[in-house]
């Protein structure tokens, strides 16, 4: 084996390693992105559940918190906040509720995705209890009040006076399952052709 062939092989080995590493890096972008979001508040992603923290309540400031509800496609529920907006002091723990109703004759599992605007405030919006932490199951025609307990961190930057909390419910029942239930005794949509 010539020196050149050996050199070629060693270069190729190193470069292949780099290739695999970069493929891995593509996947590493997933957790890196979450860290990036945490720092910068992209998409207003709010953090995970926090334990109740005994914060000092800042009585000098009043923050308006607005509540918004959305449903993603093929989510046959009704979903609204019970109150549209409230005012809270930073550091104060507050409970609010959303109302959800399953409009169908079968059970549907939903997952709520929270988002806070402005994104910069997301990091200061702490939830101690939220229906978005787990999947929610509603039986046929069931209506349920879904509570959120949150605290706006007293470190919230001064210039932020109002923030919006949005939840979007996605249908988590697998599409085949829902389809079967929706049209259990009739043909499905595709076969109509």
> Is 7 a residue that touches other proteins (CB under 8 A)?
yes
Based on CB atoms, which residue is closest to other proteins, 93 or 109?
Answer: 109
- Please identify, using beta-carbon distances, which residue of 57 and 160 lies nearer to other proteins: 160
- By CB under 8 A, tell whether 46 contacts other proteins: no
E strand intervals along the chain: 63-71, 77-81, 85-88, 93-102, 108-117, 125-130, 136-138, 143-152, 162-171
Among residues 47, 76, 93, 144, which is the contact residue for other proteins, using CB under 8 A? 76
Residues 172-191 that bind other proteins (CB under 8 A): 172, 175-176, 178-179, 182-183, 186-191
Q: Interface with other proteins includes 38 (CB under 8 A)?
A: no
Q: Is residue 107 within the footprint of other proteins (CB under 8 A)?
A: no
Cβ proximity to other proteins: between 1 and 159 the closer is 159
Tokens 């409970």 correspond to: 95
Site for other proteins contains 115 (CB under 8 A): yes
Least spacing, CB of residue 94 vs other proteins, in Å: 19
Output the smallest distance, CB 49 to other proteins, in A: 14
Decide if 97 contacts 149 (C-beta within 8 A). Answer: no
Neighbours of 156 (CB within 10 A): 20
On the question of a cis peptide bond just before residue 118, with omega within 30 degrees of 0, the verdict is yes
Choose between 25 and 95: whose C-beta lies nearer to other proteins. 25
Instruction: Please give the order of strands across the beta sheet that includes 143-152.
Output: 77-81, 93-102, 143-152, 125-130
Q: Of 192, 172, 106, whose CA–CA distance to 142 is shortest?
A: 106
As measured in angstroms, the least distance from the Cβ of 141 to other proteins is: 10
In the list 38, 55, 97, 117, the residue contacting other proteins (rule: CB under 8 A) is 117
Minimum distance between the CB of residue 54 and other proteins, rounded to whole angstroms?
29
How many residues make contact with other proteins (CB under 8 A)? Answer: 71
Which of 113, 137, 149, 154 forms a contact with other proteins (CB under 8 A)?
113
What angle (nearest 5°) sits at the alpha carbon of residue 130, between those of residues 144 and 138?
A: 30
b/e per residue 96-121 (b: at least 16 CB within 10 A): bebebebeeebebebbbebbbbebbb
- The closest alpha carbon to 172, from 45, 49, 77, 67, belongs to 77
């Amino acid at each position: 084996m010539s020196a050149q062939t050996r050199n070629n092989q060693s270069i190729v080995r190193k470069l292949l390693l780099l290739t695999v590493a970069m493929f891995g890096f593509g996947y590493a972008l997933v957790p890196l992105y979450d860290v990036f979001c945490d720092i910068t508040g992209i998409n207003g992603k709010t953090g995970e559940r926090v334990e109740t923290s005994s914060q000092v309540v800042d009585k000098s400031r009043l923050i308006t918190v607005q509540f918004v509800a959305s449903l993603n496609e093929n989510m046959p529920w009704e979903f609204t906040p019970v109150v549209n907006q409230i005012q809270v002091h930073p550091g104060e723990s507050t409970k609010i509720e959303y109302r959800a109703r399953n409009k169908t004759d079968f059970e549907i599992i939903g997952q709520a995705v929270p988002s806070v605007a402005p994104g910069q405030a997301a990091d200061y919006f702490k939830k101690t209890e939220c229906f978005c932490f787990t999947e929610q199951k509603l039986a046929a025609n069931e209506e349920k009040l879904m509570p959120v307990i949150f605290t706006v961190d007293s470190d919230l930057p001064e210039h932020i006076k109002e923030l919006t909390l949005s939840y979007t419910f996605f249908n988590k029942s697998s599409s085949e399952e829902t389809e079967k239930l929706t049209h259990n005794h009739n043909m499905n949509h595709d076969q109509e052709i």
